[in-house]
Structure 1
Amino acid sequence: MANSTSLHVVWLRNDLRSYDNAALYYAAAAAGKDPASAVIAIFIATPGTWQQHHMAPIKQDFIRRRIKQMQTELNEQNIALLTVEAGNYKDCVPIFTKLADAGMVALYGQTEYEQREQQRDKLISQRLLQAGIAVNWYDRLCIMPPGSIVTQSGDTYKVFSPFKRNWLARLREQDISCFPKAKSAALYDADNLVQQLGYARMANGDDSSANYPVAEQQILENMRQFCQQQVADYNDTRDFPALNGTSGLSVYLACGVLSVQQCVNRLQMEAGPTLEQEKSGASVWLSELIWREFYKHILVAYPELIKHRPFQADTAAIRWHNNKSMFNAWCEGKTGYPIVDAAMRQLNQTGWMHNRLRMITASFLVKDLHIDWRWGERYFMTKLIDGEFAANNGGWQWAASTGTDAAPYFRIFNPVTQSERFDPEGKFIRQFIPELAQFNNKEIHWPHKKTTPSTYWPAIIDHAEARKITLALFTEVKKSDE
């Protein structure tokens, strides 16, 4: 096609999928009305900004692998996907200025909620609108977009339970619709366009995420299989890290390879009436998806959270001990508490950690080692393949008793009893701490009682004493606040 072609440009960011992609769907629909139009997609890698946001290298690699795969998938839909390697968000502005010069008539994209992303999109929108180019944003990160679930006085819910009740009531009133795969009439030859933009093509990754599939059909099939075959047992198995009891879909939701609409739509189809049963596996998994939305609503309503401020302002005065050697021991899985160490080794080796273990390790860092929750929040982001700000921040503030609807500060996980309860046979511990393989199922949770010498790390702290210190730290700021 010649340069006189009117280009409908889809900017892919957190919606790395062909199915249920509103931006692709509407761009193809608009271009289909004009034979002189074409649809192209663009993905802009911004490793400088990714580094500022502490994005894990394994997540960066997954995104790069997914985009390469998506090029092939979109090509079959007659949609060219341009991949550009820029430095940071500021570099995105001239890219769209040049696309405007090359014949762009409209931009389509999915909304992002974080402050820097909002500022970037606002600036680009202003520039394009001034040039007479249409800009279309679609809010599909949540089933119920931020601002749609509010209290009777119009405020954002700060407690999860009433938020969930309102959310579920709204779900019963409306159908969840997913967009069909978009298709363009003809494939636009975008090779010259990449050169005009003045940026290199996106670099390849390092294959550190190779254990995670990137083909959309396979990921959709994994989601279907979970909803058909595993979700019924979810409530019984999800807290046991030695079992394959979770969906394994978090990375795909975090990067938008799956939409939450697709997940809930499939869950409704497969679970039927059990979805309304409070303790069924389907309803409990749905509740986890609602938690993801809850934290996104909180982030939009309280944007200061992006600056890593505690939701409960009084907890900003807590005098954390912040012992760096203890923090390093926690990071490396050398605390002497087997369940904590195994969990941290899982994170460091695989880029993922079981959700129950996220709670245990977070509680241990904050309430046993008395280290600022923000240190742990940042470390998780540097390692997690499924790291996303709202969920990670919400989870850490929940565990640290500084957030919205957080665990009360006097709720302090005992890492040994948690280990005995959720890894009763020590299978998970043995998987990641082979040096404890010889211990029996009882000893493995606390190997320090064993009279024979052990090469395992000594316990870094005494939990009972640490608990007293935590209560004192919180009581001090709560009393001063009163």
Structure 2
Amino acid sequence: MTMEAPAVLWFRRDLRLADHAALLTAAGHSKHLLALYVLDERLLQPAGTPRTAFLLDSLRALDAALGGRLLVRRGDPVREVVAAAREIGASAVHVTADLGPYGRRRDEAVAKALAEHRIEWVATGSPYAVTPGRVTKPDGSPYRVFTPFRRAWDRHGWPRPADTSASTVDWVPPRKSGGIPESPALGGMRQPAAGEAAALEVWQEFLDDGIAHYAEERDRPDHEGTTRMSAYLRWGNIHPRTMLADLAGDSSEGAQALRGELCWREFHADVLWHRPETARENYDRRFDRMRHDTGAPAREAFELWCAGRTGFPIVDAGMRQLLAEGWMHNRVRMVVASFLVKDLHLPWWWGARHFMRHLVDGDLASNQLNWQWVAGSGTDAAPYFRIFNPTTQGQKFDPQGDYVRRYVPELRGVAGKAVHVLKERPEGYPVPMVEHAEERQVALQRYGSITGNSPQ
């Protein structure tokens, strides 16, 4: 490899130019880089409209930051990456490592194809502060429980942000680009601005106004107490290392809580790296014996849940927020997930698939393993007997009912906390589809049958 030969920087889940380790490595090997993104049908098909729109908007922002020099191709990455590299006589293709199940298989195939043309494959860093697989127990085995993982993760630490920008290298103008497709119509859905500049702006606003109250506000869906950074992290508009650097030295409860949330993201990525089958299968294989409801009634119940027509206000508000914004408050995600698997007795993967279809921030590791946490089948899972009561959850975390009224217009005439315990049903709003106390007992019995514990 010589500095005179150009190279390719293949963007994937790292759609930014600041704090980009692969860009820094590439700049040390070559003076001239071709910026490439490949629209991969294997990833686009299951993505859903909100996530696809955010991706395409992120690509437009990246292209603008590069002065219109982002080459966008569509098709099989093996074919398109090799072709782009050969067209400019590249000596290497640089990437941020993708450690998801599909990404690992795809990258092995691309690296093998490049090697046939004597083009080097160079992977640097990952979308995480600590690359999955790096934090292990003293005996080398992976952690199954979050708390000891968190302690080991803190001890391991992470590098300082990479000093990179658009001016780090000279960018090779693409000879011919397929262009960035128009974003799909969102039908009035509200969605945040995409791209690196937007991510940094939202992050700075949170540091200025939100972090002081984050620890106590993050569980309140009626307040703007979360970071709203999940979509930016999903697409790499910002690296978690940047956020952790900004939190360094801050020992406040808010900063500690946020570091913990970032670590949960890394823990789930680590679990998926060690156990890639858990994207589709139970981590705890005992749960393969779990009895779920089936047939037409089960599908009908699922459709009511998807539409936010369960008759439980906090559940319906969450499901409608998902449809309206492509996002849902984290506390409410747990409530609606518990309702699906423990009140309706439906498989967690039904809900996980629906979330991945609609979430702007849909991330395979976080989504699937959070669903398994709620279902009790995952690593470090919630105790099976922890079954959220949707009414008391609403009363506790949306005490005045503002969140429910925001997303369930049928209930806007019901004042205050009474919205969670409706003495009368406003016209058009359904009665509860199940009796929670009864379904809780059914869930306990079914869980008990596979765990050997008696219902509580």
Give the TM-score normalised by the residue count of structure 1: 0.88
Q: In the alignment, what sits opposite 2:235?
A: 255
| CA gap 1:218/1:97 in 2 versus in 1, 3 angstroms | closer
Q: Where in structure 2 are there 5+ consecutive unaligned residues?
A: none
Partner of 2:8: 9
Query: 1:376 and 2:351 equivalent?
Result: yes
Q: How far off is 1:178 after superposition?
A: 2.8
In structure 1, the gaps of 5 or more residues are 33-37, 195-199
- For the pair 1:111 / 2:83, whether they are aligned, the reply is no
1:345-370 C-alpha deviation (Å, 9 max, x unpaired): 00011100000000000000000000
Please give the root-mean-square deviation of Cα atoms over the aligned residues, in Å.
1.9
Q: How far apart are the structure 1 equivalents of 2:333 and 2:250?
A: 31
The answer to whether structure 1 residue 409 and structure 2 residue 393 are counterparts is: no
Q: Distance in 2 between matches of 1:295 and 1:409?
A: 19
- CA shift at 1:453, angstroms? 6.5
Confirm whether residue 165 of structure 1 aligns to residue 155 of structure 2.
no
For 1:187 and 1:151, the matched residues in 2 are separated by: 43
Equivalent-residue separation in structure 2 for 1:409 and 1:183 (angstroms): 53
Distance in 1 separating the partners of 2:162 and 2:213: 26
Work out the percentage of aligned pairs sharing the same amino acid. 33
Q: Secondary structure of 2:282's partner?
A: coil
* Greater Cα offset, 433-442 or 308-317: 433-442
CA contact 1:6–1:105 (8 Å) conserved in 2: yes
8 Å CA contact 1:333–1:341 kept in 2: the answer is: yes
Contact 2:206 2:227 in 1 (8 A): yes
1:215, distance to aligned residue in structure 2 (A): 4.3
Tell me the equivalent position of 1:35: none
Number of aligned residue pairs = 444
Q: In structure 2, the residue corresponding to 1:17 is in which secondary structure?
A: coil
Between the aligned partners of 1:189 and 1:350, the Cα distance in structure 2 is 36
Q: Distance in 1 between matches of 2:305 and 2:85?
A: 50
Q: List per-residue Cα deviations over 1:133-164 (Å, max 9, x = no partner).
A: 11100132221222221112211100001111
Runs of 4+ in 1 over 4 A off after TM superposition: 184-187
Does the CA contact (< 8 Å) of 1:17 and 1:257 recur in 2?
A: yes
* Residue 397 (structure 2) aligns with: 422
Please tell me whether residue 346 in structure 1 is matched to residue 317 in structure 2: no
For the residues of structure 1 that align with 2:27 and 2:166, how far apart are their CA atoms?
6
Give the one of 178, 184, 200 matched to 1:220.
200
- Counterparts of 1:242-321 in structure 2, within 5 Å, are 242-268=222-248, 272-275=249-252, 280-306=253-279, 308-321=280-293
Deviation at 1:176, TM superposition (A): 2.8
Q: Deviation of residue 117 (structure 1)?
A: 1.5
Q: Deviations over 1:7-37 (max 9, x none)?
A: 21010000000101122222233223xxxxx
Q: TM-score, normalised by structure 2?
A: 0.93
CA distance in 2, matches of 1:453, 1:119: 53
CA 1:428–1:392 in structure 2 vs 1: closer, same or farther (change >3 Å)? same
C-alpha separation in 2, matches of 1:69 and 1:442 = 43
2: CA distance between counterparts of 1:185 and 1:246? Answer: 36
CA distance in 2, matches of 1:329, 1:218: 35
Report the AA paired with residue 39 of structure 2. Answer: A
Letter aligned with residue 86 of structure 2: D
1:320-363: per-residue Cα shift (whole Å, max 9, x none)?
A: 00411110000000000000001100001110000000000000
Corresponding letter in the other structure for 1:82: L
CA distance in 2, matches of 1:15, 1:257: 6
One-letter amino acid of the counterpart of residue 22, structure 1: A
After TM superposition, the structure 1 stretch with the greater mean CA deviation from structure 2, 225-234 or 331-340, is 225-234
- Are residues 1:25 and 2:24 paired? yes
SS, match of residue 165 in structure 1: helix
Aligned to 2:438: 465
The residue correspondences of 1:62-73 to structure 2 (distance < 5 A) are: 62-73=54-65
Encode CA deviations 1:360-386: one digit per residue, 9 max, x unaligned: 000000000000000000000000000
CA contact (8 A) 1:146 1:300 kept: yes
Does the 8 A contact of 1:25 with 1:182 survive in 2? no
* Residues 303, 186 of structure 1: alpha-carbon distance in 2 compared, 3 angstrom cutoff: closer
Deviation at 1:204, TM superposition (A): 1.7
Structure 2 distance, partners of 1:392, 1:424, is: 27
Q: Please name the residue that 2:70 is paired with.
A: 81
Residue identity in the other structure for 2:183: G
Q: Which moved more, 1:220-229 or 1:204-213?
A: 204-213
Q: Cα deviations across residues 186-233 of structure 1 (Å, max 9, x unaligned)?
A: 4533224x4xxxxx4332212537732234223212212212321110
Q: Residue 112 of structure 1: SS of its match in structure 2?
A: coil
Give me the whole-angstrom Cα distance separating, in 1, the residues matched to 2:365 and 2:396: 29
Is it true that 1:144 corresponds to 2:130 in the alignment?
yes
Conserved 8 A contact 2:65-2:166: no
Distance 1:185 1:15 in 2: 17
Change (3 A) 1:342 1:348: same
1:179, distance to aligned residue in structure 2 (A): 3.0
Aligned to 1:456: 429
Are 2:197 and 1:203 equivalent residues in the alignment? no
| Distance (Å, rounded) in 1 between the aligned partners of 2:250 and 2:102 | 42
Question: 1:191 is paired with a residue of what secondary structure?
Answer: coil
1-structure distance, mates of 2:225, 2:82: 48
Structure 2 residue aligned with 1:39: 33
Which of 91, 97, 101 is residue 86 of structure 2 equivalent to?
101
> What code does the residue aligned with 2:72 have?
T
Q: Deviations over 1:436-471 (max 9, x none)?
A: 122232321021x33x76542011000000000001
| Rounded Cα–Cα distance in structure 1 between residues aligned with 2:171 and 2:95 | 20
